Amino acid sequence: MVQTSSAVRTAAPLTEITADDIAALGVGTAIFGTGGGGAVYTAQITVENALRAHGPVPLVSVDDLGPDDVVILMSGIGAPTVGIEMLSATGQIHALLAEAERLLGRPVTTLMAAEIGGSNGVQPIGWAARLGLKVLDADGMGRAFPDAAMVAMNVAGVPCEWAVQSDVVGNISVMKTIDLHWLERHARALTVASGSICIGAHYPMTADTVKGAVIEGTVSAAIRVGHALMSSPDPVSAVAAELDARVLMTGKITDLDRRTAGGFVRGSVTITGTGADRGRLQRLELQNENLLVLEDGEVLVSVPDLITIIDAETGHAITTEMLRFGQRVSVLAWACDPIWRTPRGLELAGPAAFGYDLPYVPFEGAAR
């Protein structure tokens, strides 16, 4: 079979996001979180409230952007465990926007999610509603990654001119670092000084620089995946069809080796096949996100292709912290955006970037 663009991209385009789409967006971003990205519930309720108070947010594509448009990324940064206690201040995003516009010398028109996976895929919609901005139907990762340098713009060679960070008490910091690795390092240190949770704005872009440098269609894709899951009597198949993904195996978790090291959850999970998959055994390697699927000594899928463990019955994504012995799960895998398969993409986010001495073998999804 010839691989064509997926069902996700051919469906009717979404031109605005309403409060009614947010539950679906939350479900979808959890699937795109590939095991990481943090919990989305708290983000979800506040985004719904923002959309009810301020009305729907326009969702625009890269091709819709004009010469006057300026796009920036906004995202939360820090420890999710702190994020559930010290939540953001109302003024934080306004302060960020004001500082960004001062640095740019002109108004920002459009927000983009740094990563579509997890809460960072949901929050920008509420921020856009409150700031009166548009949302770009795109993100920087097409999934969740642990490092700010792992973004498509970095692969495409678009530099990040500055980054602004704000905390709950009103401190604003501007960082002009020589590259994204230094930005990651400085941003983390500042975050700790701010009580381990901040909101950041970075990567100012125009209609020209955005083209070919971001992963397009991911916001509407996440919403469609969520709607498909919530409305289907067979959610696992519905999600797989929307994503052009393959269900690698269905089984139960029979071993779980998880530890926290260097601020990250690392470990592996073993899934024993049940039903039609009886007799099979798969192991997933994880570091916050799911990185590899192995079976019979062979790597079936590896990062940057997407691997999500979902509940075998409900289809809902299970994050790495929520994995439990005995859970009935399906392993879902699908192909990453082509930009991650370029030499530069694999250098930044291929198996070697996570410490695995393995060649990357592209996963061809349902088309295999």
Binding site for other proteins (CB under 8 A): 38, 41-42, 45-46, 49, 78-82, 84-92, 168-170, 188-189, 191-192, 195-196, 252, 254, 259-260, 263-265, 288, 321, 324-328
Report the residue number, 43 or 348, with the smaller CB distance to other proteins.
43
Report the residue number, 259 or 278, with the smaller CB distance to other proteins.
259
**Least Å distance between CB 194 and other proteins?**
8
**Least Å distance between CB 202 and other proteins?**
19
**Least Å distance between CB 232 and other proteins?**
17
What CA–CA distance (Å, rounded) separates 146 from 36?
8
- Contact by Cβ (8 Å): 311, 287: no
What CA–CA distance (Å, rounded) separates 100 from 279?
56
Residues 6+ apart with CB under 8 A from 360: 302, 304, 341, 346, 350, 351
Transcribe 131-173 into DSSP letters. Answer: HT-EEEEEESSSS--S-TT-SHHHHHT-----EEEE-TT--EE
Report the residue number, 234 or 347, with the smaller CB distance to other proteins.
234
| CA distances, 294 to each of 101, 123, 186, 264, 305 (Å) | 47, 34, 35, 21, 14
Q: Classify burial at 207, counting beta carbons within 10 Å of its beta carbon; exposed 0-12, middle 13-18, buried 19 or more.
A: middle
Longest alpha-carbon distance in the chain: 63
**Least Å distance between CB 191 and other proteins?**
8
Nearest to 339, CA basis, from 180, 151, 146, 152: 152
Report the residue number, 70 or 198, with the smaller CB distance to other proteins.
198
**290, amino acid identity:** N
Tell me which residue has tokens 């198996």: 351
**Least Å distance between CB 329 and other proteins?**
12
Report the residue number, 41 or 182, with the smaller CB distance to other proteins.
41
**Least Å distance between CB 223 and other proteins?**
20
Report the residue number, 11 or 189, with the smaller CB distance to other proteins.
189
Cβ count within 10 A of residue 305: 27
Report the residue number, 7 or 86, with the smaller CB distance to other proteins.
86
**Least Å distance between CB 35 and other proteins?**
12
